[in-house]
């Protein structure tokens, strides 16, 4: 008997380490623009959409630009990011991710991806796992970004599973808040100090037995 029937994964930093590519692409752009950007600021951008991320960087640098200039910069950052993800292979899956997806399938647990990234489908294809999910949220159709629960609620609706029967998995503070506001069980991947609102924090997905035991009554 399953306690949770659906598992909704963030992508960047959960299924693969693309969080580091987002960091490197923003860092390159900021260095070129003479703007300050470091790991602490980057932590606040995890889970946050492209334009909102630029707005946070600009505000931290006490800088302002026109909408047109902002668009040019976000497109430039995206080109740097796309260069990096073009080299992704199935070897770039996070440790434990493939095994967990397999076990969920055997148990009949539905799986979705709820990523704010408009590059999510490309990354999932390159990882070779796009067909293993029952539903992938289209980030461009989501009006309110994380920490708003909309993206996780959209995923559970499309899996046809009520939120309280779903587990969300996230590496960002904003994402954990979104999962909790959606009324789901939250697994954080990363540092317990950052993900303190999660119900459980793990360093990666390798402890599949622990995750599976949560799903069972
Ligand atoms: C999230 C990342 O998954 O996607 C953020 O954590 C990123 O860092 C966001 O800004 C949007 O990604 P993209 O690929 O649409 O720029
Ligand atoms: Mg993430």
pLDDT tens string 191-205: 999 999 999 999 999
Residues of the chain above pLDDT 70, percent: 100
Name which residue sits closest to atom 14 of ligand 1, judged by CA. Answer: 117
Superfamily the domain 6-17+92-215 falls into: HAD superfamily/HAD-like (3.40.50.1000)
Distance of alpha carbon 167 from alpha carbon 187, whole angstroms: 7
pLDDT tens string 9-53: 999 999 999 999 999 999 999 999 999 999 999 999 999 999 999
Q: How far is the CA of 1 from the centre of ligand 2 (A)?
A: 30
Residues with CB under 6 A from ligand 1: 11-12, 19, 22, 45-50, 53, 78, 81, 115-119, 172
Q: Specify the pLDDT at position 151.
A: 98
Contacts of residue 135, defined as CB under 8 A and 6 or more positions apart, other chains included, come to 110, 112, 113, 155, 158, 159
- Read off the tokens for 138: 């289209």
Task: Compute CA distances 181 → 17, 41, 163, 186, 198, whole Å.
Answer: 25, 24, 10, 10, 11
Query: Which residue in the list 12, 64, 131, 138 is annotated as catalytic?
Result: 12
- Number of H helices and E strands in the chain, helices first, is 9, 6
Distance of alpha carbon 52 from alpha carbon 73, whole angstroms: 12
The CATH number that domain 19-85 falls under is 1.10.150.240
Question: By the 8 A CB rule, do 149 and 100 touch?
Answer: no
Domains of the chain: which residue ranges?
6-17+92-215, 19-85
Among residues 173, 47, 71, the alpha carbon closest in space to that of 58 is found at 71
Sheet arrangement for strand 166-170:
135-136, 110-113, 6-9, 166-170, 185-189, 200-202
Q: How far is the CA of 50 from the centre of ligand 1 (A)?
A: 6
> pTM of the prediction?
0.96
Question: Residues 106-117: what's their mean pLDDT?
Answer: 98
Distance of alpha carbon 148 from alpha carbon 214, whole angstroms: 25
Kindly give the number of the ligand 1 atom that is closest to the alpha carbon of 10. Answer: 3
pLDDT tens string 63-80: 999 999 999 999 999 999
Name the average pLDDT for the chain. 97
Distance of alpha carbon 129 from alpha carbon 102, whole angstroms: 11
Burial class (CB in 10 A: 0-12, 13-18, 19+), 210: exposed
pLDDT at 217 over 90: no
């Amino acid at each position: 008997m399953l306690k949770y029937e659906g598992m909704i994964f963030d992508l960047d930093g959960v299924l693969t380490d693309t969080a580091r590519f987002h960091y490197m692409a923003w860092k390159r752009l900021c260095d070129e623009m003479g703007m300050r950007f470091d790991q602490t600021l980057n932590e606040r951008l995890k889970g946050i959409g492209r334009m909102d991320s630029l707005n946070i960087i600009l505000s931290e640098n006490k800088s302002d630009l026109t909408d047109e200039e902002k668009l040019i910069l976000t497109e430039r950052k995206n080109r740097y990011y796309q260069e990096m993800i073009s080299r992704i292979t199935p070897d770039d899956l996070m440790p434990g991710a493939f095994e967990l997806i397999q076990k969920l399938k055997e148990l009949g647990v539905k799986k979705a991806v709820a990523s704010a990234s408009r590059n999510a489908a490309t990354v999932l294809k390159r990882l070779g796992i796009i067909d293993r999910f029952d539903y992938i949220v289209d980030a461009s159709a989501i009006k309110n970004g994380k920490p708003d629960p909309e993206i996780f609620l959209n995923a559970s609706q499309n899996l046809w599973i009520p939120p309280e029967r779903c587990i969300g998995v996230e590496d960002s503070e904003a994402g954990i808040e979104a999962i909790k506001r959606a009324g789901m069980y939250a697994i954080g991947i990363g540092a317990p100090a950052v993900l303190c609102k999660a119900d459980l924090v793990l360093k990666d997905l390798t402890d599949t037995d622990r995750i599976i035991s949560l799903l069972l009554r």
